[in-house]
Structure 1
Amino acid sequence: MITTRDIAERLDLSVSTVGRALADDPRISEETKLRVREAAAEMGYVANRAARMMRGVASNVVGLVIPDIRNSFYSTIAHELSGNMEARDHQLILSETDDDPVRELRHLRELSASRVAGVIIVPTARPHHDSVRLLAALPHVQLLRRHPALGAQWFGIDDFQVLQRSTAHLLAHGHSRIGYVGGPSELRTGAERLRGFRSALEQAGLREEDGLAVLGKPSSVAHGRRAARRLLDDAAPPTALVTGSVPLTLGVLEELTSRGVRTPEELSVVGFGDEPGFSWWGPGLTTARLPVTEMATDCALWLLHRLTTKPHRDTAYTSVSTGSLIVRGSTAPPARSGRLPGERAAQRTRRSR
């Protein structure tokens, strides 16, 4: 490994002069700085971050802790955060927890030991008490999910409003038997989305049992398929479905496609998120579009400002983004044939055997 001593010997300079030149010290002339930088680049020198930080140079690394990078919701956020950090000479490093508090703690310990400048975290439902302690000593901000023990700095989405609006759209079409496919209600996001679904039913004068909610952990494509199967096989299946996450939406669409359920003639569907393929799935999926890019950008800029200004104490800061409903062809008034989606799908299955 090339060191500052190797560069010093090549240029016939002292090690301290080389170190100061690489740190852009004003005591070193621009000519010397240029010579040192050119030699360092030619020789393949890589700065020792730990040594630089011991000399008082601030870290420019920010940790991002998320549940699942396979979820395009989180990968989009990671992409936007990375771009914003890089544009301001910071680097984003990624940690994946799989919603496991023990893994979350392990990643936070490594980030703390690496002396990162700050952390952006989508926390698990029940963070370990040591995770709470570690984050208290680090500049950090919560994203999407919010846990009261982790501070009062949070960027999120109005999950209640998103699901209330999606459900109200189906109610306005005349649906009174609506199924909801959601994630775990132990997460604040899941609980708020379920509350929005139920609120829309209540405002329409319907009882809670008029809506069929199927919740599960994890919020995955597989669970979306299982939930759709369960709802459609019910003795009194819904005439419409609304979903509470991107993976769940994908799972529901896969199940409907495999069954040959015609949308919206047999079943209306409102999704969550607006993936590239949603606009051309079937008749085009009516879905809740979420301001993911804008939210990630605002979160990055807020944390970078906090790292720059270094306030003596953090004050509460909350940013809530609202979604919008994109109406396409997957929603319509309920079918009047007298047969329910599950019955029609089952009949087609029997004919195909």
Structure 2
Amino acid sequence: MLLKTFGWSFAVTVVGLGLAGVLWGWQGLAIVGILSILEISLSFDNAVINAGILRKMNAFWQKIFLTVGILIAVFGMRLVFPVIIVAITAKLGPIEAVQLAINDKAHYQELVTSAHPAIAAFGGIFLLMIFLDFIFEDRDYKWLSWIEKPLARIGKLDTLSVIVALVVLLVSAVTVAPHAAHGGGDKTTTVLLSGVAGLITYLIVGGISGYFEGRLEDGDEDEEAEDGAKPAAAEKKGSGTGAAVGLAGKAAFFMFLYLEVIDASFSFDGVISSFAITNDIFEMALGLGIGAMYIRSLTVFLVRKGTLDDYVYLEHGAHYAIGALGVILLVTIRYEIHEVITGLIGVVLIALSFGSSVLRNRREGKPGAESSAQSEVTSGV
């Protein structure tokens, strides 16, 4: 199981580190290794969120996520995206931007860093929306019930998450944007436009994927009703996996797009933080790419092991980490926050939610190391 899931990650690590050693020597090898660890530490919560979405897809789309998705993550977000940002910011052609990244690394780093307010506003609002939609939804399992119960009650207002996100964006625009640490000058307009773009992107991609998922669920329920299989449908719905398991077609495609946008938002802080280690785009892409590969393998591992069904508070911890990351991205428009702090916040929140899940399983007599099916048998469900 472990080798089957992480086999490609191990292979990519060996090849990547070997290539780094050949091209850049021991120093390059060390840089690529550090970048890999940085990416994993910053994106562990991303794996938990991805697993919650990926388990709804069928095996084909899970493979697409691990193959096509990793190409987009490595070459798209870790290599091409910074170049596109430079091309837009400096008003250069794609070829000129690539030449700049190769021949004038210091200026390239300066241009990417100057675009940080726009990147942070887009990614921050997008991630904040993921957190708000989660925390305002009434869920069967509540981790911090003293917070989640009242928020679920007021969350019955459908537009509340959008309102809160817009308020946070306006506060950011009048507090941190006028004194941006990067790019110089007042970035209020940039932050507002980028934040609104992040919000619109979330609403479009998330809305379309949710629409097709809902249609698929309705279609499944209608078919089961026609076949006289209502009891089976009820049992399936109560199993915790949901009727959307095995999403395919348009629903899976838009869910895949949603996953890629989430990954892009998570990669922003990793790309920006990596400039503190190197300004070589190829070292950056290789190191962050290795880390991204492990995140994807971890996502698949969580899905196949049914970990989110066994440890029911893990998704809560990951979403709290997402909310923290969204706020941190907005704060970094003006203030420098070390990537170690960002990574530790996510790790601590997920660790706490995991510990709470273990304690819950013990109280209910569920062995945490078992699969969800085994847990149900043991607990008499």
Query: Whose RCO is larger (CA < 8 A, sep 6+)?
Result: 2
| Shared fold, TM over 0.5 | no
Instruction: Give the TM-score, by structure 2 length.
Output: 0.23
Q: Which has the larger radius of gyration?
A: 1
Higher helix content, 1 or 2:
2
Higher strand content, 1 or 2:
1
